[in-house]
A and B are shown apart, each in its own frame.
Chain A
Amino acid sequence: MTDILLVSDSPANINIAWRHFCYKEYNASATVSIDAAMENLSSDKPPKIVVYYYGSGASGFISFYNTVKENEKSAKVPLVVLADVEQQKALLRHFKLENTAVLGISIDDSKLMDIMRMIARKGTADIPALQLANAKKSVRSVSDRLFSSNAPRERKIPDTMRRRGGN
Chain B
Amino acid sequence: MIISICPLASNLKAKPIPRFLQQNLSQLRIKMYKLLIIDENTGFAPIISEILGEGYQVLSAAGRFDAEEAVLKEAPQLALVNADEKSCIDIAESLRKKKENLRFIFMGADIGKQSFKKFKPVDKLELPLSPKEFFDRIEYAFFSSEGMIDELTGLLKKSAFDIRLKRLMKKKTAGTFFCLSIDAYSYASNPANPLQEQMAAYAMKKELEGSLLGLSGNSFIGFISSAEAKADMQKRLDKLIHTMCEAADKPEVFISAGAAESADFDYSPEDMLLYADKGMELSRNAGKNCIKYYN
Interface residues of A (CB under 8 A from B): 59-63, 65-66, 83-91, 93-98
Contacts and interface: CB of A to CB of B under 8 A. Distances in A.
B50 interface: yes
Interface of B: 41-44, 46-47, 50-51, 82, 107, 127-134
Contacts of A94: 44, 47, 82, 107, 127-129
Q: SS class of chain A's interface: helix, strand, loop or mixed?
A: helix
A4 to B, nearest CB: 23
Nearest to A98: B130
B130 A95 contact: yes
A89 B128 CA distance: 12
Given A59-B46, A62-B47, A62-B50, A95 B131 contact: yes
B43 A66 contact: no
Nearest to A59: B50
Contacts of A87: 43, 46-47
B43 A62 contact: no
B128 A66 contact: no
Interface centre among A86, A97, A98 (most CB of B within 10 A): A86
Contacts of B128: 93-96
Contacts of A89: 41, 43
A91 B47 contact: yes
Contact of A63 (B41, B42, B50, B133): B50
A83 B42 CA distance: 13
Contacts of A86: 41-43
B130 A97 contact: yes
A97 B70 CA distance: 30
Given A86-B41, A86-B42, A66 B47 contact: no
Nearest to A62: B50
B43 A84 contact: yes
A101 to B, nearest CB: 15
A93 B41 contact: yes
B50 A96 contact: no
Contacts of B133: 96
Contacts of B43: 83-91
A61 B127 CA distance: 20
Contact of A61 (B41, B50, B130, B132): B50
